Amino acid sequence: SRDFRVVVLGSAGVGKSALVQRWVRGNFREAYLPTIEDTYRQVLGCSHKVGALHITDTTGGRRYRGLQRLAIARGHAFILVYSVTKKHTLEELKPLYHLIRDLKGNNPLKCPIILVGNKCDESHREVSEKEGAACASEWNCAFLETSAKMNINVQELFQMLLNHEKKPAASA
Ligand code: GDP
Ligand code: MG
């Protein structure tokens, strides 16, 4: 049995905590509570290989770069979240993407990244699905649009990571 650490990264307000809450607790809140760093531990009974799934919900604040770096260094898989309503939040993922590649190497099998465009329930958009997908293909990573609010693609997102974890390549 061993642990699998998923790190959720992205600018403040994009819905990182909402996505994790939706998956872990099955609910959603409108109020914004800034996070410093929270870790959730889910014990998974479905696979004998997996000890526990740790989800680290990070902060986007510049003051916490050190924590972010440490979380990345310890992570096994990464969820990069932007909001489809704010283009700059996609741009702000770029340095994080490069930091992950610098710290973890370029092999997408060893170190999966999923690019997530959250708040897809909102009618006001600054990033189209096509633009998100183009960025993901440039980065050679998976892509999903989600809504923590309307519970769209949240199960799929975490399932993608769990499926990946069960493949032998992930343990190489
Ligand atoms: P974080 O800073 O990335 O952790 O962002 P939060 O999870 O705290 O969410 C920031 C704000 O966006 C909160 O007011 C949430 O209610 C809202 N929010 C989060 N996810 C969604 C979503 O999928 N759709 C909509 N419309 N709002 C969301
Ligand atoms: Mg948060």
Question: pLDDT tens digits, residue range 48-107?
Answer: 455 677 888 877 666 677 888 889 999 999 999 999 999 999 999 999 999 999 999 887
Cβ 145 vs Cβ 15: under 8 Å: no
Query: Distance, CA 33 to ligand 1 centroid (Å)?
Result: 9
Q: Which atom of ligand 1 is nearest to the CA of 60?
A: 2
Cα angle 57, 63, 67; round to 5: 45
Question: Atom 16, ligand 1: which residue's CA is nearest?
Answer: 30
Residue 14 alpha carbon, nearest atom of ligand 1: 3
Average pLDDT for 31-39: 69
Ligand 1 atom, smallest distance to 31 CA: 14
The ligand that comes nearest to the alpha carbon of residue 149 is 1
Which atom of ligand 1 sits closest to the CA of residue 11?
Answer: 3
The verdict on ipTM greater than 0.90 is: yes
The ligand with the least distance to the CA atom of 10 is 1
d(CA 162, CA 47): 9
Comparing 50 with 11, the larger pLDDT belongs to 11
> Which residues lie with the beta carbon below 6 Å from any ligand 1 atom?
10, 12-18, 30, 32-33, 35, 118-119, 121-122, 147-149
Q: Which of 4-8, 42-46, 56-60, 116-120 has the lowest mean pLDDT?
A: 42-46
Give the pLDDT of residue 58: 79
The pLDDT of residue 114 is: 96
Percentage of the chain exceeding pLDDT 70: 81
Give 13 Cα–ligand 2 centroid separation in angstroms.
Answer: 7
User: Residue 45 — pLDDT band, cuts 50, 70, 90?
Assistant: very low
Find the mean pLDDT for residues 127-134.
98
Higher-scoring residue by pLDDT: 132, 25: 132
Residue 93's φ and ψ, nearest 5 degrees, are -80, -20
Q: What is the mean pLDDT of residues 118-132?
A: 98
pLDDT mean over 132-143: 96
| 35 against 153, higher pLDDT | 153
